[in-house]
Structure 1
Amino acid sequence: MSAASLIAREEWRVLTRNRAGLIASALLVVLILVASFTSLERCSAIEADRERYQTSADETFDAQPDRHPHRMVHYGQFVFRPIAPLAFFDAGVDSFTGNTVFLEGHRQNSANFAEARQSSLLLRFGQLTPAFVLQTLAPLLIIFLAFASVAREKENATLKLMLAQGVSGRSVIAGKLLGHGAIALGVGVPAFAVLIAFAATGAAEWASVALMVLGYASWLLLWAALGVVVSALVAKPRDALAILIGLWMVIVILLPRALPEAASAQSQLATKIETEIALHRDLLEIGDSHDPDDPYFNDFRDRVLARYGVETVEDLPVQYAGLVSIEGERLTTQIYADAANRQIARESDQNAFVHAFSVVSPLIAIRQLSMALAGSDPAAHYDFLEHAETFRYNFVQRLNRMQAELLPGIKGDDPRISAAYWQQIPRFAYTPVDPLARPGSLVWPFLVLLGWLAALTVLAIVAARRIGRAAR
């Protein structure tokens, strides 16, 4: 057996006699399991509620009596976003972005009923999910287990005895890294087992689960390596502990909370009132179909008459108001789409600013990677909004075409068409986006984590050489 393996086994033996460490490790394992099952149960309940509400909204829409099609345009529909399979592991931004959109004519509504607004303020400090435990609490446990790994040998003078017996500094560092790396992976085993079991049931893709496990394994190994390297570079265990706690506070607590504020100051988002005012101004510029002197709709009317070869709107084989509704919806949809794209671009700039600092705080990298694989990142939310808006536009325009094509044959002051027509309108169906379809969101976080591991490997080599020189 190699010297590194013997040192790793001795490190495990020492840790088994550390009662506080064993209790803390057991508590963390229990916390991961509790977080996994409670989060899974919570997501299942939420998904069941959303399916029930979606079914109820669809049935209510189908139950509407014979109406004028434009009344159904304003009656609208509610659509609910389904939860991605792995969102139970990392809720990401789902609790803050809203999950319900009301679809109606002439406007593009935002998602509403965000869970953070319906729950207590404690939710804003982070939900108890397996991702939260692994990202925030697991590094703290690894620090307490690893901070004295090499410094303890220095303080007790056992390091000199090992070196005097021919053990090299490289073997010492390799053994400590092997021992604490295995412990770090052991901390993550309960969460990894839950992920693998979830994939085995067919509820999640194996590729996404494998990448999730690989990402968190890298994150935990990073902290094990950091603990051993710092312990090897300082003289006393208490110094190593102080440095590691300071690094944990900066990497895990300070930077991830300070950087979004800096990004917000650098690229401010428009408030809801400012957005509404800008939209109202843009809508006024497209013209007023009710104004007989409006240049745009006068020109539109002339084009319609020329296309059908008639002299007046009364001679049209279709209802002119329905054609105006179709054209107006096309114009307003483009205005709302441009405003939404500008908002998304600003939010993306803020996120890019924060992600650029992941080289300083790898928590940002693992968080980005975790949310992307769980389907709970901003990109997944934007994808849902895009599908909802596409459905809304097709839904409204279908009703507008009914108005234009069906009403001319119906007499009376209150023309209505059969309810059978909107019962035939397709219902909203959304499948959460495949994380692997967006590899760009996965490559950079992996590169950051691997970069940190590579840098710590270099520091470990430097520490091993220092130990070797001390033996001469």
Structure 2
Amino acid sequence: MSTRFRHAIAAIVRTEWRAMLRNQVAVAGAALMLALTLAAILVSHERVRAVNAERARLQASADAQWHGQPDRHPHRVVHYGHYVFRPLSPLAFFDFGVDPFTGHTLFLEGHRQNSANFSEAGQSSVLLRFGQLTPAFVLQVLTPLLIVFLAFGSLARERERGQLRLQLTQGVGARTLLSGKLAAHAGIAMLLAAPAFIALGAIAATDTAVAPEALAMLAAYALYLLLWAAGAVLVSALLPRARDALLTLVGIWIVTTILLPRVMPDLAMLGIERATRIESEVAIHQRMKALGDSHNPDDPYFNRFRQAVLAKYQVSRIEDLPVNYGGLLMLEGERLTSALYDEFMRADYERQVAQSGIVYRAALASPVIALRRLSTALAGTNLDSHTRFLFEGEKYRYGFVQALNNVHATAIRYQNDRDQRVGKHHWEATPRFGYAAAPFASVAARHAWPAFAVLAGWLLALAFGGRVVAQRLERTGK
């Protein structure tokens, strides 16, 4: 880039910014957007801090109740159950994702796999239906609209006044003019997002655990807003009147940020159906009946299981076993039912992933869908994060239930089984539930890099479009 070219672009940028500063409506709109972004950051950050504090308090209370149980029969402890809560990522304040609509609490008990409960959508007032103010919402939806209103007349208005032809005939190249206008409005877009970018930068600097996620999110939002600035300038350069450019850009904004992100999930649900919770429960119950009944001495499966146990320990009667047969039944029954629940949960997750794949394909027409995919994944508030919590909770449940069933088999005599107790140290030693977010590398490979590829593809398309528009301006002079 030559020095003359840089000076020309800088002059165009200064001229465009001075025009913006003289426009009181533009200044007021930018000030309001900055205030709205800052408010969204502060409110969302405080909400996530309060939610995490509340869930930590509830988790500590649940752990204390679990560990505080007296001496009792281990099977009673299995049915006593335990609560676990999902903590939020430090970046969850930026994009709530699916968190308000999915449960964050699991009740873990033997023989059952319960769903997550207490979602905000199920408990909050109707105000939640109107959406929640988050930095992501402001940058994804509102900021592009303001960019449109600031940039729609950048070239179309000059064309209407006859200034565009004059500049071109005076030697200002179309490429230089487009580059200067784009640089000016890209700078304005970055200014509008400055509070959010500062917040992400601060988190990256103070919390190294999520620094890669914060920086990747910052880069993605900067690229997204740059796309809107470039697109607005190009549409302004293509259409003969500013009014036409404004109507076209608002139409594009409605379709790409409102219509497609709303319609595509419904189309995905029509294309790939999921069983309801009741339908899944009925199907699981039918499969359980087919597996066998441990309380029926003539049940084929558990009759074979009893014979295998007797043969293993080389005895002829259950009473002669060196372990409690009732505990062995609990171990085997839990293994069978847990495998069945896990099968249904993974099948349902695969259907949800397939539905998400249909939505993600629409990112080719709506870059905000690609940005949301990346944003919620890095914030730890997407479907994968919720499902990871369910899988981790199930793994934890199966571990402590089987540990108690093993105590039942080894520390409780078969005779007068239900009248016996064991020491509480058996459940006091249960480790606390720990939920860890997926590592950045796996999240990036699955969600971030595909989203960046879509955004980069849009940027390349706009760059090619800019060349075509510049050649047209040079050829026609208008």
TM-score range, shorter chain: over 0.9
Tell me the distance in 2 between the aligned counterparts of 1:139 and 1:413: 67
2:86 maps to 1:86: no
Tell me the distance in 2 between the aligned counterparts of 1:100 and 1:89: 22
What residue in structure 1 maps to residue 448 of structure 2?
Answer: 442
What residue in structure 1 maps to residue 231 of structure 2?
Answer: 226
What residue in structure 2 maps to residue 394 of structure 1?
Answer: 399
What residue in structure 1 maps to residue 32 of structure 2?
Answer: 27
Tell me the distance in 2 between the aligned counterparts of 1:91 and 1:326: 39
Q: How does 1:220-259 map to 2 (within 5 A)?
A: 220-259=225-264
Deviations 1:405-462 (A, max 9, x none): 0002886761111122111111211122233332221111111111111111111111
Asked if structure 2 preserves the Cα contact closer than 8 Å seen for 1:369 and 1:445, the reply is yes
- What code does the residue aligned with 2:100 have? S
Candidates 438, 463, 467, aligned match of 2:469: 463
Q: How does 1:273-284 map to 2 (within 5 A)?
A: 273-284=278-289
Tell me the distance in 2 between the aligned counterparts of 1:63 and 1:317: 30
Are residues 67 and 171 of structure 1, via their aligned partners in 2, closer, same or farther at CA, if it must alter by over 3 Å?
A: same
Asked if structure 2 preserves the Cα contact closer than 8 Å seen for 1:410 and 1:416, the reply is no
What residue in structure 1 maps to residue 151 of structure 2?
Answer: 146
What residue in structure 2 maps to residue 433 of structure 1?
Answer: 438
Q: How does 1:278-317 map to 2 (within 5 A)?
A: 278-317=283-322
Q: SS in structure 2 opposite 1:376?
A: coil
Asked if structure 1 preserves the Cα contact closer than 8 Å seen for 2:85 and 2:105, the reply is yes
Shift of 1:6: 1.3
Tell me the distance in 2 between the aligned counterparts of 1:411 and 1:258: 61
Candidates 449, 457, 472, aligned match of 1:451: 457
What residue in structure 1 maps to residue 331 of structure 2?
Answer: 326
- What code does the residue aligned with 2:448 have? L
Identity over the aligned pairs, expressed in percent?
50
Candidates 65, 69, 72, aligned match of 1:64: 69
Structure 2: segments with no counterpart, 5+ residues: none
Q: SS in structure 2 opposite 1:408?
A: coil
Q: How does 1:104-253 map to 2 (within 5 A)?
A: 104-202=109-207, 204-253=209-258
Candidates 39, 64, 73, aligned match of 2:78: 73
Q: SS in structure 2 opposite 1:78?
A: strand
Shift of 1:123: 1.9
Deviations 1:88-119 (A, max 9, x none): 11111111111000101111111111111111
Q: SS in structure 2 opposite 1:101?
A: strand
Deviations 1:106-151 (A, max 9, x none): 1111111111111123323421110110001000010000000000
Asked if structure 1 preserves the Cα contact closer than 8 Å seen for 2:204 and 2:215, the reply is no
Tell me the distance in 1 between the aligned counterparts of 2:417 and 2:173: 98
Candidates 9, 33, 47, aligned match of 2:14: 9
Asked if structure 2 preserves the Cα contact closer than 8 Å seen for 1:85 and 1:204, the reply is no
Deviations 1:181-200 (A, max 9, x none): 11111111110001111222
Tell me the distance in 2 between the aligned counterparts of 1:343 and 1:207: 31
Are residues 413 and 175 of structure 1, via their aligned partners in 2, closer, same or farther at CA, if it must alter by over 3 Å?
A: closer
Q: SS in structure 1 opposite 2:91?
A: helix
Shift of 1:384: 1.1
Q: SS in structure 2 opposite 1:429?
A: coil
Tell me the distance in 2 between the aligned counterparts of 1:134 and 1:101: 33
2:376 maps to 1:374: no
Asked if structure 1 preserves the Cα contact closer than 8 Å seen for 2:73 and 2:418, the reply is no
What residue in structure 1 maps to residue 426 of structure 2?
Answer: 421
Tell me the distance in 2 between the aligned counterparts of 1:222 and 1:175: 15
* Worse-superposed segment, 423-432 or 49-58: 423-432
Q: SS in structure 1 opposite 2:112?
A: coil
Number of residue-to-residue matches in the alignment: 472
Tell me the distance in 1 between the aligned counterparts of 2:394 and 2:153: 56
2:104 maps to 1:99: yes
- What code does the residue aligned with 1:225 have? A
Q: SS in structure 1 opposite 2:193?
A: helix
Deviations 1:39-75 (A, max 9, x none): 1111111101101101111111122222111111111
2:409 maps to 1:404: yes
* Worse-superposed segment, 247-256 or 415-424: 415-424
* Worse-superposed segment, 60-69 or 288-297: 60-69
Tell me the distance in 2 between the aligned counterparts of 1:443 and 1:87: 20
- What code does the residue aligned with 2:223 have? S
Q: SS in structure 1 opposite 2:107?
A: strand
Q: How does 1:328-343 map to 2 (within 5 A)?
A: 328-343=333-348
Are residues 149 and 412 of structure 1, via their aligned partners in 2, closer, same or farther at CA, if it must alter by over 3 Å?
A: closer
- What code does the residue aligned with 1:333 have? S
Shift of 1:28: 0.7
Are residues 298 and 199 of structure 1, via their aligned partners in 2, closer, same or farther at CA, if it must alter by over 3 Å?
A: same
Tell me the distance in 2 between the aligned counterparts of 1:315 and 1:375: 53
- What code does the residue aligned with 2:98 have? V
Deviations 1:374-412 (A, max 9, x none): 111111111111111110000100000010000028867
Q: SS in structure 1 opposite 2:113?
A: coil
Are residues 383 and 422 of structure 1, via their aligned partners in 2, closer, same or farther at CA, if it must alter by over 3 Å?
A: same
- What code does the residue aligned with 2:26 have? G
What residue in structure 2 maps to residue 37 of structure 1?
Answer: 42
Tell me the distance in 1 between the aligned counterparts of 2:417 and 2:454: 69
TM-score under structure 1 length normalisation: 0.98
What residue in structure 2 maps to residue 265 of structure 1?
Answer: 270
Q: SS in structure 2 opposite 1:205?
A: helix
- What code does the residue aligned with 1:90 have? D
Asked if structure 2 preserves the Cα contact closer than 8 Å seen for 1:82 and 1:432, the reply is no
